[in-house]
Amino acid sequence: MIDANLRSKGSYTVQEMKIIRSKGRGFSEFISRILNRGTSVVPGVEGSVRAIIDDVRLRGDRAVAEYTKKFDGVDLRGRIEVKKKEIDRAFKKIPEKDVNLLELAASRIEAFAMRQLQNSWFFTDPDGTTLGTRITPLERVGIYVPGGKASYPSTVLMNAVPARVAGVGEVFMATPPGRGEVNPYVLAAARIAVMPKTIRISSNVNPVRDRARAKRARRALGRAISNGMKPRERI
């Protein structure tokens, strides 16, 4: 049995926890929906996504800006990269107590990541063969930070700080443009995490309806950081 009762409590409605009984009616259908979610493909999505990727590959940032204007309603011509002065302005907008909290979070993440570090090791066996494991940090990585209706500075810190601790040379971030301006808390977190470049692209995406936007964002991030991509670089 699946129970999802609604009840009123004061001026708002509370949805009670769903109770799912394996012997109840509708259980198999409910489990099937869970197992198959995300596997359906809207007709025409793949063709639309491929056309966008091919266009971005051909026309570069100009195409990225046009699609952002089309899908998100934001004009990013000449403004795809977030400049340092914009990051500095955003940092000043945030209350000092919130900056302190972001810095505290970053320091705790760094302390944890330091304990996760691995070291290279080698040894020579009796027949003279040198064996071991070489730990080599990536030279460049790109991260995507969701946004739109909410901001996720924690995503910035949880991805960028461990990368820096691991010795990654450069970390680049892509995040939704909002109404043209990136959320100041996200930019503050990027500054605290010491990230060299941030680009604004895409928006919140629905995993089924907006696969084209999601792939567009990933493609744009790839374009922004992958010129001359070397083996030890990842997106």
The whole-number average pLDDT for the span 9-36 is: 74
- Give residue 196's pLDDT band: very low, low, confident or very high (50, 70, 90): low
Q: Which two tokens stand for residue 45?
A: 């999505």
Determine the Cα–Cα distance for residues 199 and 176; give it in Å rounded to an integer: 8
Residue whose C-alpha is closest to residue 171's, from 146, 200, 191: 191
DSSP per-residue letters across 8-24: EETTEEEEPPPEE-TTS
pLDDT at 28 exceeding the cut of 90: no
Select, from the ranges 8-17, 183-192, 221-230, the one with the highest average predicted confidence (pLDDT): 183-192
| Maximum Cα–Cα distance across the chain | 79
In the chain, CATH 3.40.50.1980 covers 54-234
What is the model's pLDDT at position 6? 47
Contact 166, 137 (CB under 8 A): yes
pLDDT: is 184 or 223 the higher one?
184
What is the model's pLDDT at position 159? 93
| Model pTM score | 0.64
Q: Which fold does the domain 54-234 belong to in CATH?
A: Rossmann fold (3.40.50)
The whole-number average pLDDT for the span 96-104 is: 93
Rounded to the nearest integer, the mean pLDDT of the chain is: 78
